[in-house]
Structure 1
């Protein structure tokens, strides 16, 4: 199998290579193609891969390329993890809303809309190039904001594009372990989870028929053992009756989230930018590339959502070890190909259109996976994956406040996609204005003005409207 990574000079690429050399994903890929527009970043990542200790065996051959057509030709699967504007762009994504007293976060709120306005055009270019150079290939999308980007690509690639994120799956695994049950890899039997990317709720945890979630929510010690329990607190979680994705902290305690960001010595984007500038410069040297990268990776994981840990809490060791995005992506890739080691249908939480829905024995036939959302809306839910693709599993209808928020954010996503696809600047203004973390047209216009100043290329999107 030939796997191409768009964004092959990215910081997390060595995690994918490491997973392809060790454990259950070894020997799945014969050739790994790293494509990037920045040859210096490609060279740095290539140095890390050369220096990485791997077990005896045959690691995949590595090819680097700055030619998109050549990189795609003959490719079976594309992983996409691109960041137009680089880490310097992330600083602007976060800083513009912070300067207006709003939440400054990479994927949530105004920063996520800005990121999408820059990213969707480049991802559409990639999707169209795939149609030309590798029409049968699957696109597994890591690029944030993952759900919105995936929805923008469905009209081009259909069900050949699937979005992934590790936060929902990580939540389920942590919750199951805290409740005294270890979920087997690739199985989500009895798990109820609905939402959009970075906006979802675990509402049922019944791997053997009995729902373990009420007991977990009533157990202060068990809740204190997981990130979400410490973040939201038992009182809030019992009122909700579920476990929210960690990013919902931005909605449930917005001012505290903003204050937490302001208390940091620098924004998350600025911290990562400084780290990566130093790291990629160091990786140009001849020695210790892997050790330098691993040290930086662990430091980055320790700082993930640090603004939400207001009492000095530390991330769990298992979360610091890596194995998130890349394991989801490789599990999905392996399940898509019948010659893989997967002996049964794989279940993963993925970002896919709300319909058609998998037929399952425990639920009546359903037209959509998440009742109350449009059939063509990309949602984040448990899915069954076979060689034919990923089909969402039917979920309960979300409670009123959950569904209202999901509908609200889905409208923001669709306005953002319209702004890009139709070149409609006013749609971009309305996307900012409609977001519940913004909430006014005046702020929406000021945000877009600020982002256009930071990213002059945005002006090229608008078609005289």
Structure 2
């Protein structure tokens, strides 16, 4: 099979290739094509992959190209992992928002809207090209904001585009570990929401829901990442375990203050860190894999550092530093390609899963996956407080999509102003002014 990775010069591509190297079954990926607009980044990542594959005799062949159409032709699967505007764009997203006293995180609040506004037109163009050049391909979307971008692409690809995120998987794994579940894969995770806006409402093992046992034990609640972030009292009040990104909603003032007081924003940190890595790759004698491993370890250890500091949560546990989105992607690809039926938490079209949203809305829920794609399972309705957040944020996503279609600056202002974390229409107007001033990718707004 041929796998095309868009954003193939991206830092996390070796995670995907590393997962592929462990797959030796029939029907596996034998050809990987990396596409990126930056030839230097492609060269650096290709070096890392070559070192990864050095001792693997049947390693998938790797090719690299800056020609998008060439990369897409004949693809069986397409991983979309692009970053429009690069990490400099992410740093600007954060800076402009924080100057207005609102959150600039890349998927949540003002920063997520800005990122979506410049990413959706590019993602739509990719979807149209896939439909024309590789109509039988399945697109697995990593690109943030993952739910929004997946919904934009689904308007052209239907159910053949599926969004993935490792946050729900990591959350379920941490809960299972704390509860002493021997094999987390055997646990059913009742997780419902949007990307970066979901809640675990139950964790069933052999038909028994073990979550009440966790919620009743302050010691257990305080022993893992989300318990430290949110506090045992708040988790018991909710009766659920929220995705870590909900810390930006439940503790917004504290999060914004921590980001404003930080020496660097997350985007600026990653921009500088990865610039050092790619610069080091210009040295032909440097070990690409060693440099990449060291950079990745630092990246994972500092993930959501400001939130943990504001909550007094301390350092991340070593078990939480391994990521996992590449494993989700490989499991999804195997299930479709080989009809290896499995259950995964994915971003897919709602159909009739959540009655408060229409059938085309992309949501994040457990799905049964087989050769025909991902099928969302029936879930219980969300409580009112969660329904309100989900509906409000989905409405904002729809305004972003409408802006990308129309190029209307007025609609862009509406998208910002309607977000729960933007507290003024005047702030929304200044955000649009600030973002259009720094992002060439928003020049389409009139």
TM-score, normalised to structure 1's length? 0.92
Listed as ranges, the gaps of 5+ residues in structure 1 are 356-367
Q: How does 1:51-450 map to 2 (within 5 A)?
A: 51-52=51-52, 55-185=55-185, 189=188, 191-286=189-284, 287-310=286-309, 311=312, 313-322=314-323, 324-338=324-338, 342=340, 345-355=341-351, 368-450=352-434
Listed one character per residue, the Cα deviations across residues 270-326 of structure 1 (whole Å, up to 9, x for unaligned) are 10000011110101212211100110001000111001112361112122133x111
SS at match of 1:352: strand
Q: Deviations over 1:27-77 (max 9, x none)?
A: 721000000111010001011112226554310000101111111111100
Aligned residues: 443
Counterparts of 1:402 and 1:64, CA distance in 2 = 44
Instruction: Specify whether residues 460 and 10 from structure 1 end up closer, same or farther in structure 2 by C-alpha distance, changes over 3 A only.
Output: same
SS at match of 2:226: helix
Decide whether aligned partners of structure 1 residues 24 and 408 sit closer, same or farther in structure 2, where only a CA change above 3 A counts.
farther
Structure 2's unaligned 5+ residue stretches are: none
Three-state SS of the structure 2 residue aligned to 1:82 is coil
CA contact (8 A) 1:18 1:54 kept: no
- Aligned equivalents of 2:10, 2:440: Cα separation in 1: 24
Separation of aligned partners in 2, 1:200 and 1:317: 24
Q: Deviations over 1:162-202 (max 9, x none)?
A: 000000111111111111214454x553x211100000000
Name the TM-score, length of structure 2 as normaliser: 0.96
Partners of 1:301 and 1:131 in 2: CA distance: 35
* Contact 2:177/2:184 (<8 A) preserved: no
Give the C-alpha shift of residue 263 in structure 1: 3.1
> Is residue 371–residue 395 contact of structure 1 (8 Å, CA) maintained in 2?
no
SS in 2 for 1:370: coil
Q: 1:174 to 1:55 in 2, by over 3 A?
A: farther
What is the rounded CA distance, in whole Å, between the counterparts of 1:147 and 1:26 in structure 2?
Answer: 32
Whole-angstrom CA distance in 1 between matches of 2:313 and 2:245 = 19
SS of 1:383's equivalent in the other structure is strand
Provide the C-alpha distance between the structure 1 equivalents of 2:83 and 2:16, rounded to a whole number of angstroms: 17
- Which shifted more, 48-57 or 246-255? 48-57
**Does the alignment pair 1:43 with 2:27?**
no
State the Cα distance separating 1:221 from its structure 2 match.
2.0
Give me the whole-angstrom Cα distance separating, in 2, the residues matched to 1:265 and 1:258.
Answer: 13
* Deviation per residue, 1:71-93 (Å, 9 max, x gap): 11111000000001100000011
Change in Cα spacing, 1:312 to 1:350, as seen in structure 2 (3 Å) is closer
What's the RMSD between the two structures over aligned residues?
1.5
